[in-house]
Structures are given as structure tokens and as C-alpha cells.
Amino acid sequence: MRQKNKSLQKNTSEKTTKSQNIANPNIAVKEKVVAPVKAKEVVNNKSAPKVEPSKNKATNKKAAAKTEPPAKQKQKVQPAATNGKVESNGINENEIDNLVEQLLGDSPSKPKKLTKAQQKKKQELEDYLAKQLERDDEAAGEEEYDSETGGEEDYSSGSDEFSDEYTINSYSDEEEEECEEEETGVSVDDCSSESDVEKQPIATSTKNNVPQKRKGNAVAITAATEPKKSRQAEKPVDKRKSMPTAITTTADKVTKATEKRRHSIAESEATVSAKVDVKTVDAKAIKMEPLSPPNNIVKMNSIQEGEKVFGWLLSPLNLKEFFSKYWETGACLVKRKGSNYYSKLMSFEAIDQMLINNHVEFTKNIDITSYKNGVRETLNPVGRAMPPVVWDHYGQGCSVRLLNPHTFLPDLFKLNTTLQEYFHCLVGANAYLTPPNSQGFAPHYDDIEAFVLQIEGRKRWRLYKPRSQAEQLPRFSSKNFTQQEIGQPIFDEVLEPGDLLYFPRGTIHQAITEPGYHSLHITLSVYQKQSYADLFERMIPLVLQRAIESNLDMRRGLPLHTFQHAGIAYSDNDTTERADLLRKVTKLMGQCLHSAQLGEMMDAAVDQLAKKYQHEALPPHVLPGERARTIFGSRSTTNDQGECMCDYEIDELTNVRLLRANIMRLVQEEDKVRIYYYVDNSKEYCEYEPNFIEIEPEEAASVEVLIRSYPQYVGVSQLPLEDDERKVQMVTALWERGLLMTEKPFK
């Protein structure tokens, strides 16, 4: 049933929110199905009871039929089953439903005005609910203690190693410093060598005294015994206001079968063919300074700014270690203990506002997908993606994929356009919003280096090694695989908010949300079609063309009757004519490579790759300090005679430089010299034709000076052109295109 579109609302009150998040087994929810809450979560400084399924089959059936939209709706609470008894504080259980609606059903923006009698009744209701929680908490605590002291050993995967940190840390700054000394702040499971594995207890794992298998450089997936859960009260966990309604039909207590599934990778003897490291860090120790504007706009180096932002993404893993150990070779996981490290980039509410305020189209900007019973489907309607339509599909268990969210989300756009200067290639982004207990895509591999940034919720990722050497570092993405085609996972971990997962192209992967948790993550993609093969695709035709022009033998005719001695039908022939032809072809091929100016051909091929980047790249994010020095901040006026008066003037004393290190590329094509640039590109991929300026050959040397001098400024008078007027004209033309900035702002 299609839900009515409602605006996102905040919870009615703190007390109501806490009571609803508890999922008390004695309080059944009528309309909103509550997401699961572990016994570790806390309300009113009391441990919450474990979630039990409702005994009312009719209620469960009704809850199963409802699919909530993202908007938070009013929640009704049924009375606890206490056989009609009335508590000493004067609260009748049969009245709880009405009392919650009357006394706690207001919104923070428009609170209800209560009489003194109603305020007194409200206090009694809150006291009653608190007592209920305390009583159920004691029962849950005894049950938890019994389960912990049982005779069964508990092995958990690496993802559960920090399971007791899903709640907000409650210690003070002084206690945090002490904890950092005890926990070392950052723990690294280095799987690069066997000696390291032996030294670190957390990096080894055995099951029933059977060691994990190793092959050469391969390492076993690490697993650690889950720490005992403390029964000490912690600060209550604030409910994420952006968290969508969980779609569940029963209470979300984790069964033994689910636990067995979650820890299956620790119990198996799967061997990792590529390195898989788990790095853990306290997010409080990391600052977000790289996302802030640079301190000195005049001296800013765009490549260094991109490097700083990439370092922020990976922190505390340094870039040298990342490129030497993981880049194109193995997966790497950075865990940050459930933080809001990447929350500025995107949120559930931001997606809703994006749909409301922009013309977002199905297929072009957004996909609705599902993966059920081994079948992957795309369920896109036609036209604009209206919020009620999107949330209706989401409520029915479909995943939402945003194909180019940086087009509409400014912070994500700033991140991508800054990173592209460092990688010298397009940095793409897709976002995936998945409801609880759902999977949107079949197992597959991609042709990009992937960085997964977990924003909200939890998602279990499984990685699988390439099926053959031909599928390692592929140049094209794969088909959808069946579960039988991919074998056993080499990596099985749950990503939480603030975590980052990297895996190289060709890594088969699939992901599914955890029971009771939705998931929102961003996948950044880099280095698509950026290999030696792509360079040679552009280089070899140039080598061949040069050989054809310079070698007469390349232009001589083939021997007569060649078709009767070569080809697939004659491949096993052993004739003299065939042997002579093969010998001649081998000789000519050697002459092509020997006579070719490979350095010159390589330069031309790299220019063609860079030209492709100029077409694909995002436009630059121009900072306020840069606007005052570029055409983007210029404002023209008219005088009394109606003549246009520009507020800038470039002369031979003006100092200029490129706006970005890679903002333009000098390319020679046949007898023409062109400057390709991306400053006028759209935020949508290749929406326009490539932008270029055609210049005179004698002006190319001056452009080279500007390119190679970055980030230093160059005086217009220093450019290698004979005529000062031509120097000013050329620089003015480039400045008016937005390619140059001046050292001093125009007044």
C-alpha cells in the first residue's frame, strides 16, 4: 500500500523516543515497527532488556503488512500485560495507550499545553514507564549473565571485536587519554608477514585448535574472541533522526542461527589471497581540517590539497603504507568505532531534501533495485523521482542508488573535485540506501578502485578473490554472479558509521544490511581505464602510423595466395609460404618498434589520456579568495554614456598562474595546437562536448611556461613571446576563460 508523503519530523519528546527505542517486550508497537536494540543500549541509565517477539499474532501480522516511509509518524504503545492490575502510582495499564497519545504525543515545535492535572498525570506515566524498564532490565541482566556463563565457547568475527562500542563512549577527556594509553588508540592487524601474525594475538585465529591455512603470501582472516559485555550503565544512545523505519515482522532478537551466520567466516578455514587488514582508531582523535579551505589561497597547491583530503579519508593509515601494501593488491578496512566521521557528506534527510528541491530523474540520477532469491532487478519508473514514489519503493524493501549525488550535494562535490587533482582522473561517487534485511545487488566485480564510506546504519560486506588471473584488475565490470560461481568469501565484516573499506578492481563483492539496521554508504571510484593497456591503446596506433610513413616495406603488397596459407582454417598448415609470411611479419614488427621514437609516442599517448580526463572531470570548486582573483568574481558596470566598464585590467606587470594544476592540457593534434580544459564542464558526466581553445604554434611555449611553473606565479612580461601586446592578449584570453588567477585581487 502506498504511504502518504509526510515531512520528516522529530521525535515527540525525549521520553517518548527513549521508550520507543527500548523495544520493551511488554509494550507492543501498533504503527511503527521498532528497529532492534541490543541489550547493551541504555535508556535512563538502565540497561535495556533483550528484544522478545510479541505474543499477539494479530499484532505481528498487522505490523508485517505495514511498510513505513522515512517520515517519522506517531507511535502508539499498548499496555503491558499485567492482568488488569493498577500500579501504586495510579496508572492503569488499559489507559497507557490513550495517555501516551494525549500527554506525550506532541512535537517539539508545537508542544501541547497541559493543565496541572495533566502535567501530574504525565509525570506519573513517565515514572510508570521507568519502573517497567527497570524491572525488565533486571530480568534481562540475569538472562545475559546466564548466557555469558554457559559452557559454550564464543568465537566472533573481526567485525564484532568492537561490538560493545556501538554506544557512545561515556568516559571523560581524562579517561579517554588513559584509555588511549591502555588500548594504544590504533590497533593494526598486519597480515603482510607470518612473523607479524605470530607476534600479534589479535592477528591469529584458531578454531578447535586447528590453525588457519596459509599459502605463500596469503593470510588467514583474523578473528578475535568477543569481549565480555559490561553491565555498567552508560550514557543513553540518541536515536539517529535520519534513521528510516525498520521493516520487520517480529522482534529483532538475534537467534543462534543468525549468530552462527555472522561468525561463519571465523569458523571456516578460508584463506585470503590478498591482504586484508583491519585498522581501528578512535574517531575523536581525528580532525576534519583537510575539508576546510586552505589557509593561504594565494600559495595553495591543488595536488597537495587533494593529497590532504585523501589522507583524511584513510587516516590513521598513512598514504605511503596504503600504496605500498594495498593499492591494486588487497583490501583494507579502517574501523572508527561507530562515529559520524563522514556524516557531513550525506545523510538520510539530505537525500530527502535533494529529491524535494531538485529535478532528479529515474535511471539518469537514481535507480530502484532489488536482489531476491538470486535475481537482481531494476524497478525504475519513468520521469522525475518524486519523494513519495522513492520512499514507497524503499518501504517495500528496495534499495535506492544515487548515480551522481555530487551533482546535488555540495560537500560531496567539493570532496570529489579536490580528490581528482590528486588522482589525475575522474573521481566518481555513487550512494546506496538500503532498508533493513535487504540486498540491492548481486555479487559482481567492478572496473574501478573502490572506497566505501559508511555513513549510517550497518552493512555486512563479503569479498571474494578473483576466479582467475584474467579477472584480476579488469578493464570492464563483470556480469552478475550466482552464489555458486564465487565460492567462499575471503573477507566478511560489518561496516558501521565512520568505517572505510577499500578493495581493488576485480574484487568480487556483495553486501547486505544487518537485521534491524538500514544502511547508507558512499562508494568513491577512481582509476577507471587508467592502466598501461589504456596507454598502449593510444600509443600503438601512433607507432604504427609512424612506421607506415617511414618504412617502404610496410607499404608493399602481400604475397599472392596469402589467403590460402594463413587464417584460422589454415592455422595448422606447415607450408613454406606460411613460414615465409610469418618470418616477414615478425621482421616488420621488430622494425616498427626499433625505428619508433617511443618517447615521442608516449608523450602523445599520455596527452590523449589527459584529454579524456579534461572531458570527464568535474568543474573546480572556486573558493571565495579565488573569486576575487579570477573571472568568477568580476563584475562589470556601465558609465554615464552606457559604455561597459570592466573591473579588471591585465598588463605586462600582472602576475598569474593556473587556477588548478590540472585544469588544462596542451595537446598537439596533426597540425593544430589546442588547450583542452575542464573549467566549463557540467557536474553531470560528459554532458557537454570537450572544451578547447586553438592557439598559434608560437604561443605554445608560453602556455608550457604557465603549466610547468605551477604553483608559482609568472609575470606576463616573462612569457616567451616577442610582442608584449600579444602576451597581454593571450593571458587575458586564458584569464577570461577561468583558467588563470592573478596574484593580487582586483579592486
- Higher-pLDDT residue of 688 and 88 is 688
Average pLDDT value over all residues in the chain: 74
Inside any domain, residue 7? no
Average pLDDT over residues 396-412: 95
Confidence check: pLDDT of 254 > 60: no
Q: What pLDDT, on a 0 to 100 scale, did the predictor assign at position 276? A: 58
Are residues 626 and 557 part of one domain? no
Q: What pLDDT, on a 0 to 100 scale, did the predictor assign at position 277? A: 61
Q: Dig out the grid coordinates for 522 from the structure.
A: 558512499
Are residues 430 and 352 part of one domain? yes
Q: pLDDT digits over 316-330, tens only?
A: 999 999 999 999 999
Q: What pLDDT, on a 0 to 100 scale, did the predictor assign at position 642? A: 80
Domain count, the chain: 4
Confidence band of 90 (pLDDT split at 50, 70, 90): low
Are residues 164 and 142 part of one domain? no
Q: What pLDDT, on a 0 to 100 scale, did the predictor assign at position 160? A: 37
Are residues 215 and 122 part of one domain? no
Q: What pLDDT, on a 0 to 100 scale, did the predictor assign at position 172? A: 39
In CATH, what number is assigned to the domain containing residue 571?
1.10.10.1500
Question: Could you tell me how many residues make up the chain?
Answer: 747
Helix (H) or strand (E) holding 664: strand 664-669
Inside any domain, residue 47? yes
Inside any domain, residue 485? yes
Are residues 37 and 78 part of one domain? yes
Q: Are 224 and 279 in contact (CB under 8 A)?
A: no
Q: Could you tell me what percent of the chain has a pLDDT over 70? A: 63
Q: What pLDDT, on a 0 to 100 scale, did the predictor assign at position 290? A: 43
Question: At which of 468, 497, 526 does a domain end?
Answer: 526
Determine whether 371 is exposed, middle or buried from the number of CB atoms within 10 Å of its CB (0-12, 13-18, 19+). Answer: buried
Q: pLDDT digits over 40-52, tens only?
A: 333 333 344 444 4
Q: Are 612 and 530 in contact (CB under 8 A)?
A: no
Inside any domain, residue 607? no
For 110, phi and psi rounded to 5 degrees?
A: -135, 75
Confidence check: pLDDT of 364 > 80: yes
Inside any domain, residue 4? no
Are residues 560 and 673 part of one domain? no
Confidence check: pLDDT of 602 > 60: yes
Q: pLDDT digits over 583-594, tens only?
A: 999 999 999 888
Are residues 469 and 410 part of one domain? yes
**Residue 8 to residue 261: CA distance in whole angstroms:** 35
Average pLDDT over residues 592-598: 85
Q: What pLDDT, on a 0 to 100 scale, did the predictor assign at position 595? A: 80
Q: What pLDDT, on a 0 to 100 scale, did the predictor assign at position 339? A: 83
**Residue 284 to residue 147: CA distance in whole angstroms:** 33
Are residues 670 and 576 part of one domain? no
Inside any domain, residue 260? no
Average pLDDT over residues 174-198: 39
R_g of the chain computed on alpha carbons: 32
Inside any domain, residue 171? yes
Are residues 214 and 86 part of one domain? no
Average pLDDT over residues 397-418: 95
Q: Are 669 and 620 in contact (CB under 8 A)?
A: no
Q: What pLDDT, on a 0 to 100 scale, did the predictor assign at position 259? A: 44
In CATH, what number is assigned to the domain containing residue 643?
3.90.930.40
pTM greater than 0.85: no
Cα atoms in the 13 Å half-sphere on the side-chain side of 38: 14
Confidence band of 110 (pLDDT split at 50, 70, 90): low
Confidence band of 167 (pLDDT split at 50, 70, 90): very low
Residue with cell 496508572: 91
**Residue 121 to residue 91: CA distance in whole angstroms:** 8
Q: What pLDDT, on a 0 to 100 scale, did the predictor assign at position 645? A: 78
Are residues 537 and 514 part of one domain? no
- Higher-pLDDT residue of 32 and 510 is 510
Q: pLDDT digits over 516-533, tens only?
A: 999 999 999 999 999 999
Are residues 713 and 575 part of one domain? no
**Residue 67 to residue 59: CA distance in whole angstroms:** 14
Question: At which of 152, 171, 192 does a domain end?
Answer: 152
Question: At which of 152, 175, 202 does a domain end?
Answer: 152
Inside any domain, residue 2? no
Are residues 641 and 685 part of one domain? yes
Q: What pLDDT, on a 0 to 100 scale, did the predictor assign at position 488? A: 94
**Residue 497 to residue 348: CA distance in whole angstroms:** 13
Range from 192-201, 377-386, 720-729 carrying the lowest mean pLDDT? 192-201
Confidence check: pLDDT of 60 > 50: no
**Residue 382 to residue 696: CA distance in whole angstroms:** 48
**Residue 631 to residue 342: CA distance in whole angstroms:** 33
Confidence band of 293 (pLDDT split at 50, 70, 90): low
Average pLDDT over residues 211-222: 36
Confidence band of 89 (pLDDT split at 50, 70, 90): low
- Higher-pLDDT residue of 606 and 108 is 606
Determine whether 655 is exposed, middle or buried from the number of CB atoms within 10 Å of its CB (0-12, 13-18, 19+). Answer: middle
Q: pLDDT digits over 62-79, tens only?
A: 444 444 444 444 444 444
**Residue 12 to residue 5: CA distance in whole angstroms:** 19
Q: What pLDDT, on a 0 to 100 scale, did the predictor assign at position 10? A: 40
Q: pLDDT digits over 670-727, tens only?
A: 889 999 999 999 999 999 999 999 999 999 999 999 999 999 999 999 999 989 999 9
Q: What pLDDT, on a 0 to 100 scale, did the predictor assign at position 275? A: 52
Q: Are 465 and 443 in contact (CB under 8 A)?
A: no
Range from 190-194, 300-304, 383-387, 503-507 carrying the lowest mean pLDDT? 190-194
Q: pLDDT digits over 433-462, tens only?
A: 999 988 889 999 999 999 999 999 999 999
Q: What pLDDT, on a 0 to 100 scale, did the predictor assign at position 51? A: 40
Confidence band of 273 (pLDDT split at 50, 70, 90): very low
Confidence band of 398 (pLDDT split at 50, 70, 90): very high
Which residue range is the domain that position 127 belongs to?
14-152
Q: What pLDDT, on a 0 to 100 scale, did the predictor assign at position 695? A: 95
